[in-house]
Amino acid sequence: MADAGTRPADPQSRRPLSPHLQIYRPMLTMMMSIAHRITGGALYAGTLLLAWWLIAASTDAAAFAKANWFLSSILGRLILFGFTWSLFHHLMGGLRHFLWDAGRGMEHPEREYLAQATWIGGLALTLAVWAAAYAMR
């Protein structure tokens, strides 16, 4: 029968068996995966904010004025900008994962290009939407 001893003789053999955060160096694909999860969580808060605004618009003028005042403030616009970026970044990350699920872009250069396209595309789409919104004022 095999020896099932739980205490190895030397300290070197007691090291962790799986890699941990001190082994991995941050890569762009790893950072985009983490950002995808964070933006998914941020979309919940942004959706609640959007629901508040829509409910205020459907109730009365005073509630809508209060919601509109907050969303028009500097803090409100900063939150809306972050919500817009979260939405587009999460969208681009979802498209990247869709391509990976189809078996495309898994090799080294394509994987990095898709990760770069995720953050560049999310930022570009956010800036385009906000520029269009300010142009229509």
Per-residue pLDDT at 17: 66
For residues 29 and 111, the answer to whether their CB atoms sit within 8 Å is yes
List Cβ neighbours of 8 (8 Å cut-off, separation of 6 or more): 14
Per-residue pLDDT at 15: 66
| Helices assigned H by DSSP within the chain | 28-59, 61-72, 74-101, 108-135
DSSP H/E element including 20: none
Cα distance between residue 66 and residue 64, in whole Å: 5
- CATH class as words, domain 26-135: mainly alpha
Rg (C-alpha) for the chain, rounded Å, is: 23
For residue 3, what pLDDT band results from cuts at 50, 70 and 90? Answer: low
Asked which of 6-10, 32-36, 40-44, 56-60 is least confident by mean pLDDT, the reply is 6-10
- Tell which wins on pLDDT, 25 or 32: 32
The domain locations on the chain are: 26-135
Per-residue pLDDT at 117: 96
User: Does residue 12 have a pLDDT over 80?
Assistant: no
Residue pLDDT, tens place only, 52-96? 999 999 999 999 999 999 999 999 999 999 999 999 999 999 999
Cα distance between residue 21 and residue 34, in whole Å: 14
User: Does residue 7 have a pLDDT over 80?
Assistant: no
- What mean pLDDT is reported for the chain? 89
Percent of the chain scoring above 70 in pLDDT: 85
Cα distance between residue 101 and residue 93, in whole Å: 12
